[in-house]
Structure 1
Amino acid sequence: MSLIHLTSLAEIAAAEWDALLPDDQPFLRHAFLSSLEESGSVRAESGWQPDHLLWRENGVLRAAIPGYRKRHSQGEYVFDHVWADASQRAGIRYYPKWLGAIPFSPVTGARLIGAPDAAAQLLAALPETLLKNGLSGAHINFTDAQANHLLHEQPNWLERWGLQYHWHNRGYRDFQDFLDTLMSRKRKQLRKEREQVTQSGFEFSGYRGDQLREDQWDFVYTCYANTYAVRGQRPYLTRNFFSLLAERMPENIRVVIAHLQQQPAAMAFYLKDEHALYGRYWGCLAEFDRLHFETCFYQGMDFAIAEGLQRFDAGAQGEHKLVRGFEPHITHSWHYLMHPGLREAVDDFLQREREGVRAWEEEARDALPYRRGD
């Protein structure tokens, strides 16, 4: 039995890695993770050094966690900057750390892939490898129920809660069928938002990953990069990532392009699996009132209804999603901190934070726009 560090997914066959996956969610697939690496979106120079953990028994791969050594906390969507700042003030080194996650993707899913008994052994071996490699701790983000159970059984792992908002397709025939479940005032608001965008002259076209030309992918990337440029930041993903992904898993990609006077003006990029739609990136060339809601949310709802998908995960945060029918959903992450004093302080903080998250989830459910009794 051995714990192996993999510095590139190219070192393992796609079939061997994908055989561990419990479902068809696209983010854990070899094609997705290797596209991040081969496109240069994830690399040591950007503070995302691939360090995937594999557990082999008699040469057979039985479990794994996609992982990275991090020199910062950017692109994770589970914010530990305060912990890092407190560590620095106390003279405790916080970076580098190890992160088990899907880069730039706040999507709940499997993280400990493979046989549960082998995954538990991998977790048990992790503290020793942290010590040997001078890492301050390990963090595993957006875990599913199986990982939550396995991590709960391991000593000294701290659980953190977050809150997202997901839309559920309850067998709606069309968007109007969904609107009919809302309170009158909210129903009118959503209908007005959609009409306002249509009356402004926008038209929308949907595409699979294999239906876009390279010049259209150029437009998609320009819009995506612009969402960072307006904040004075560099985008996480490179242009080549989109071409690689379109080549390797086109069936999982959906893109909506908004046209104004027959010219492309905005886009939304989604991934999908058999059960869910995942809104990932959006961008526009200029700001237009309500265009974001239509392109990112309502077009996604239309698509989920048309394809019979059960759930629409439109990304992290966003309390404005509540009024549009997105329901609160508690997310989980787990944290192993090597320094006992820091671990104790963070544990105390997380206990209080979980109480706040639970209280806000209850308040958020009361704010949902659905007719009472539905």
Structure 2
Amino acid sequence: MLRYSIFFWFILVNDSLLAQHDTTIIQLKPQKIVAFTANKGNVLIHTEAVENIRGAKPFGFSIEVSKQQINQASYNNSSSYARFGWQLSYYNFNTPILGNGTIVNYFLQPIYKLTNRLQFSYRASIGAAYLSSPYNAKTHIDNQNYSSHIVPYMHISAALGYRITNHLAVELNTNFHHLSNGNLTQPNKGLNFTTTGLSLVYNANNNILPTYHAIKNRYWKPQKPWVDVGVFYVPQQDYYNKWQVKRHFALGLTAQISKQVGRTNALLVGGEAYYNSISGDVSTKFLNNNAAVLGGLFIGHEFLLNRLIFSQNIGLYVTSHPSYNSNMYFRLGLRYKLNTHWQIGANLKAHSDEADFFDIRFLYRF
């Protein structure tokens, strides 16, 4: 699942693009935006278990409402014009195995002004989907991708926009979508698909972005590393027929040190340990290495955008672990800074091509 590195766009973004700072802060009200998008794409076959959906070509449409910051104070935080809002989407997955889905998500979209008419942007979204055709042991055994109607949703995209008038613009975007319930129910191979979309964007105000004086400002260089410590919790999961085990809950501690290396990027190193309450047939070989306490070390990257932090980590177990899991694992996270010290967030942990669990977490920053 995570071999596609779904947050790679954030790492590739160059912090020096349009780096700006000005002592004169211009305050402008956010612009109100409505957009309509039509999408068409392809499913990704990330494991042999979902070969039966090969060739499916999802198509759909979405409508969104958003606000775009154009004041200089906001611009100075990330060297971009931040757009944020809500999107409602419908997708037909083009196969009776997957059915169709309705998605609601919140998104953040930094906009970079290339010329007076041309813009580049990328977007990160998180939300939930209602899917029509989950796995059913009696009536629908072909669907190995998802097994519940309600499924968490993550999405990233990159786009080029062109201003047609002072109110209308078009955007050509490429998208990666991921749906997974984090092993709350089984089976759960997850659904990955890509789409190309064309958007019509209406700005109720004026879509001409202001130009601010650009100077280099590496204010982050002298800053000390951040130290974050916290707790995380994993709720009960469904019985996993393949390995004959069930997770009742997991409760853990995490700690990391991160250093900002650009306006919107930070690198980190850390460790974690958690109590893993799993039960099952003790005679099965898949529990022969199961430990009550699991621990790992990880390195990673964070994308920083005001109060939101998107993280991508690669970890290695330093304790024994169930033999049905690989030695390495991956984490994707989203955190929100409540204030200078406290953070709340969610994290997806996965091995190879399958999710392990979602957790909720609280952290304190020193």
TM norm. shorter chain > 0.5: no
- Structure number with greater CO (CA < 8 Å, separation at least 6) is 1
Question: TM-score scaled to structure 2, two decimals?
Answer: 0.28
Question: TM-score scaled to structure 1, two decimals?
Answer: 0.28
